[in-house]
């Protein structure tokens, strides 16, 4: 599996927050889905309140 670094922002109660997550996934698409699930579950927000700005492979 490949390691991905995912950077983006989410809005909670009108306040924008930046985040950076390191995700282990077999593809970029699954890394994106896992990020949505982790951030949404932890922060109790919907996907429409999240944006992913950058996904890059970490070696």
Q: What is the mean pLDDT of residues 22-41?
A: 96
Is residue 58's pLDDT more than 90? yes
pLDDT band at 59 (very low <50, low <70, confident <90, very high): confident
Burial class (CB in 10 A: 0-12, 13-18, 19+), 6: buried
Total-model pTM: 0.88
**Contacts with 53 (C-beta within 8 Å, 6 or more apart), sequence order:** 7, 8, 9
Task: Supply the mean pLDDT for the chain.
Answer: 95
What CATH number does residue 16 fall under? Answer: 3.10.20.10
Query: Which residues constitute the domain of residue 30?
Result: 2-58
How many domains does the structure of the chain reveal? 1
Q: What is the mean pLDDT of residues 3-10?
A: 97
């Amino acid at each position: 599996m490949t390691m991905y670094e995912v950077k983006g922002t989410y809005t909670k109660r009108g306040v924008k927050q930046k985040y950076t997550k390191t995700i282990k996934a077999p593809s970029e698409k699954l890394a994106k889905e896992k990020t949505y699930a982790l951030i949404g579950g932890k922060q109790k927000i919907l996907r429409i309140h999240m944006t992913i700005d950058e996904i890059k492979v970490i070696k």
